[in-house]
Amino acid sequence: MKNSTVERYISQIKWFLSWAKKNGYYEGVLNTDYKVELKRIERQQKIFFSWDELMKFYTFDFGTESYNQVRDCISFMSFTSLRHSDLATLKRSDVKSDHIVVYTEKTDDGLRIDLNDYSREILNKYKDCTFRDNLALPVISNQKMNDYIKEMGKIIGFDEPTKVVYYIGSKRHDEVYPKYELLSTHVGRRSFIVNAIFLGIPPIVVMQWTGHKDYNSMKPYIAIVDELKNNEMDKFNKVRH
C-alpha cells in the first residue's frame, strides 16, 4: 500500500479507538500521541479546478441529465466548500435565504456557509424538484460521482499531464496521468478554497466556511495560490514592445 494509505488507516483506527473509549467500549490504554513516521511527499499536488476551468465545467452541457446533475452537484461543492458526505445530507430545511446550515459528518461541526450567485442559482434550478429524504440536490453515491466526473473531465478536455508522486515503503514512485483521471468529488472543496483565496478572500474568513480550525491546514492552499499568482506575474515578462 502507499504510505499515505497506511497513515490514513492508522488515523482511522486511532479515531475509532478514541470513540470506543469515550463510549465505554474500550478500556485499554489509548496512546493518542502515537504517530506513524513513513516517507512521504510533503507538498503533494492537490487536484482542483482553476477559476476558468470551474466556469467551463459549470456552464458545459454534457447532453445527459445524469451528467448535468453531477455537474451541478460538483459545482455546488466548488461554490460552498461542502464535502460529498455533507452534500448528501443537505436538506431543503438547511437552506436559508442567504446561507446554508451544515453539520459536517467528518467533524460534527455546525457551519453557516453564505450563498453566492452561483450556489443560489444551482439551488433555484432544483427548487421545484422532489428528491429522497427531502434533499436539496440530486446527489448520487460518492463512488458513482467519482466515476462520472472522470468521464466528464475527459469529455470537456481536462487532459493536462499531471504528475503524482508517492512512496511505498522507502521506494519513490513517479507517475503521470491526464488530469481527468485524477478527478474526484473532493475537487469541489479544494477548488472552493483555492479560488476563494485567489480572489482575495482572507484565509481566516475561508476557514469559517470550510470548518478548518488549524491555520496550518490552509498553508498548502496558500502555497498553491502564491504559485498561481507568480505564474500570472510571469506574463509581464513575455511582453515585448
**Average pLDDT of the segment spanning 194-208:** 88
**Whole-number percent of the chain with pLDDT over 70:** 91
pLDDT tier, 108 (very low <50, low <70, confident <90, very high otherwise): low
* The three three-digit cell numbers of residue 195, written as one number: 479560488
| Distance in angstroms (rounded) separating the CA atoms of residues 106 and 156 | 31
C-alpha 83/C-alpha 76 separation (Å) is 10
Grid coordinates 444551482 are at which residue? 122
Show the domains of the chain with their CATH numbers. 1-38 (no CATH), 51-231 (1.10.443.10)
* Buried/exposed 148-179: b ≥16 CB within 10 Å, e otherwise: bbbebbeeeebeeebebebbeeeeeeeeeebb
Q: What gap in Å lies between CA 206 and CA 204, rounded to an integer? A: 5
Q: 65-69, 78-82, 219-223: which has the minimum mean pLDDT?
A: 219-223
pLDDT at residue 228 above 80? no
User: Rounded to whole angstroms, what are the CA distances from 149 to 36, 158, 218, 228?
Assistant: 33, 11, 25, 24
